[in-house]
Amino acid sequence: MCGGVLSVTLALTAAGASEPLPKVCSQTNPPPCATPPRAVSAPSPEAPQQSSGKGKEGVSVLSIIVEPDGSTSHIRVVKPVGHGLDEKAVDAVKTWKFKPATLNGKPVAVQIAVEIKFHLY
């Protein structure tokens, strides 16, 4: 069994972005800033089919961009957990949908970090 937890961190730019992405509001980042995106559909990753994944646990940290339409893009592993679990995390996050971040009432793309916690047994 595996599960996921979403946590938001600050990031300013994305690979290939021509201009900086807006900052997400937080205690350390006051306005002007974007409201954080909210996951509306975040299915958990599938467990690996191999028995080698049993008894493994850890956290895979991914950097993603939540687009103005609520889809995800530019997904990359920042902190791997290994054992094929990072690939499962990336596959799951590709399917996630968000209520997008907003800045001045308009949907905007923002970069966030996502932590996927695994505990396989």
User: Average of pLDDT values for 46-58?
Assistant: 68
Banded model confidence at residue 119, pLDDT cuts 50, 70, 90? confident
- Average pLDDT of the chain, as a whole number: 81
User: Average of pLDDT values for 91-96?
Assistant: 95
All structural domains of the chain, each given as residue ranges with its CATH number in brackets, are: 1-113 (3.30.2420.10)
Q: How far apart are CA 41 and CA 34, in angstroms?
A: 20
Please report the pLDDT score of residue 54 as a whole number.
Answer: 62
b/e per residue 8-23 (b: at least 16 CB within 10 A): beebeebeeeeeebbb
Higher pLDDT, 117 or 119: 117
User: Average of pLDDT values for 32-46?
Assistant: 91
Give this prediction's pTM. 0.78
Q: How far apart are CA 7 and CA 39, in angstroms?
A: 10
Please report the pLDDT score of residue 28 as a whole number.
Answer: 85
